[in-house]
Chains A and B, each alone.
Chain A
């Protein structure tokens, strides 16, 4: 009995310590803009939160839309002052678990056919090693998509985020051809998911783009405003995706925190297709010291997802 109690105590202590750690972080940071720290479970809880009232009634609360602050359209064109966001993706750890894709789709209320985060199976040349390549929007510092937009519907903010104002977008799709990274998606029809958001529109809100307009990965500025890292970063079970303020020289994946410059220096970080001159804000750490074999990425994928990779050189080579 006593042993049981002790064990319980130990467990609860462990739990409290973890929470305390996080709480502590919050205590210190919790002034001004930032109110909270994110835990990886937060993204998994998803957008629909059901709450029991003491009367026994179930209330459905949309966490994503209810809880996150929503700034005005005007404000969302400006950016979060004094910040410049950066993402670092560690290719050595990615095993195509696709939690980033799912969390992003859920968080942004995307229909199944739209993915802001895509995971590619790349192989640079015949004899080089294949690797999984998660690709968000690169939020380039020289964004061609913004340069070619005829109405200023897509714009670069002071915090480096390239955002789309779906109320402004006319759907000419020029930005989609302008982007060399196939980042943008178009709403080819009206999806029921588009009706989720009843609040006044804000480009920052994680609500899906409207029919006939373009949308893309937005670095989740609504989450950033409450001190959380984007859905993809917090959802990744491997901690592949790091996010942070480059001026503060820090990136975190929710559990580990690194000095950005140190990380890039030590791990030979690079930017994808640097030669194009778009100056992305997303850095990659080369796929070295792999934690998983590439094949692990095919693990428990849906058949239609598996289908995607069947024409890659790697899959073709491995065909019996």
Chain B
């Protein structure tokens, strides 16, 4: 549950980034009430290994400015031809985003395998409703690794669900191979699938993994008329072991919080030398004062 929640949060924040630019909204009430409001709903679809994720972004256009609509209820439905199934409701966040995710296995099968997804904002007393839909055929990509003749081989296999709900090969498509990085995906190759829906790639050598050399490898079909966006991933320890930056190691440099040892020693020697002499001079002054007391009876 926690994981699902975390996933949700992250997805929300992700999609928030692809919002259209929000221009400054006019403060004047007259402006905002005069122009008729127009609701806009955009939907994103992702078919990942065992689930489908739908993300709807709701914005209101008034005149020149566009604003996200918060706390609006978005209804998601899935349909195959005449059959229609209500998936659920989600509320938009501050950035107007609502997310719905459900397992791959629960999907109905359409006549040609195509499924259509719909997100709907029913509208409120102030804003009109809006709807957005999308059609795609569920698909899957699997990755496997092997070593042949001391070469590292990555193999991908792509399947789709046919009308009967069976998984059959996707032939002839192009699969892009990525390694996820801190900020983005690093592309490491492309595989053209054969008739059996699979293909191979010699895995490049100099890819940095984690400290143990572990790498997440992702295979994706992108921008496909039938399958939309499909993602598969797997982990392998073929990466170069990551060497952490040595900044934590030097502790006594000119720029570190603690000074080099000999700098401190030099300073202490100089200070000790000078202040010892000061002390001596002050001591002499104290002695002069003492002598006067001793001498006083003489006068």
Contacts and interface: CB of A to CB of B under 8 A. Distances in A.
Interface of A: 9, 12-30, 34-39, 41-42, 44-46, 48-56, 58-59, 61, 79, 82-84, 141-144, 146-147, 152, 155-160, 226-229, 243-250, 252, 254, 257-259, 261
**Residue from B18, B25, B182 whose CB has the most chain A CB atoms within 10 Å:** B182
B275 to A, nearest CB: 21
Contact of A228 (B178, B183, B231, B257): B183
Q: Is the interface of A mostly helix, strand, loop or mixed?
A: mixed
A3 to B, nearest CB: 16
Given A16-B45, A147-B254, A42 B17 contact: yes
Nearest to B53: A23
A98 B14 CA distance: 26
Given A20-B46, A50-B67, A247 B94 contact: no
A36 B186 contact: no
B182 A29 contact: yes
B113 interface: no
B17 A41 contact: yes
Interface string B230-252: 01010000000011110110000
B187 interface: yes
9 contacts: A16-B44, A34-B182, A34-B183, A49-B95, A54-B124, A158-B245, A244-B182, A252-B183, A257-B185
A23 B25 contact: no
A39 B18 contact: yes
Looking at chain B, what size class is its interface with the partner chain?
35 or more
Contacts of B53: 23
A159 B245 contact: yes
Contact of B71 (A18, A27, A54): A54
Among A16, A25, A38, A59, the most chain B Cβ lie within 10 Å of the Cβ of A16
B10 interface: yes
Contacts of A21: 220, 222, 229
B245 A160 contact: yes
Contacts of A12: 42-43, 132, 134
B20 A19 contact: no
B140 to A, nearest CB: 14
B39 to A, nearest CB: 10
B213 interface: no
B10 A35 contact: yes
A246 B245 contact: yes
Nearest to B218: A28
Contacts of A258: 186
A22 B60 CA distance: 23
A46 B21 CA distance: 8
Contacts of B45: 16, 20
Task: In the A-B complex, list the 5 residue pairs whose CB atoms are closest, starting with the nearest.
Answer: A20-B229, A84-B245, A19-B44, A252-B184, A146-B255
A29 B247 contact: no
A20 B15 CA distance: 9
A15 B247 CA distance: 42
Given A12-B134, A16-B44, A84-B245, A24 B220 contact: yes
Nearest to B69: A52
A51 B13 contact: no
Given A41-B20, A247-B208, A252 B229 contact: no
B17 A36 contact: yes
Contact of B44 (A9, A23, A28, A29): A23
B196 interface: no
B10 A14 contact: no
B185 A25 contact: yes
A155 B257 CA distance: 8
A84 B19 contact: no
Given A12-B42, A51-B70, A52-B68, A259 B231 contact: no
A13 B44 CA distance: 8
A250 B181 CA distance: 7
B245 to A, nearest CB: 3
Contacts of A23: 11, 14-15, 44, 46, 53, 55, 229
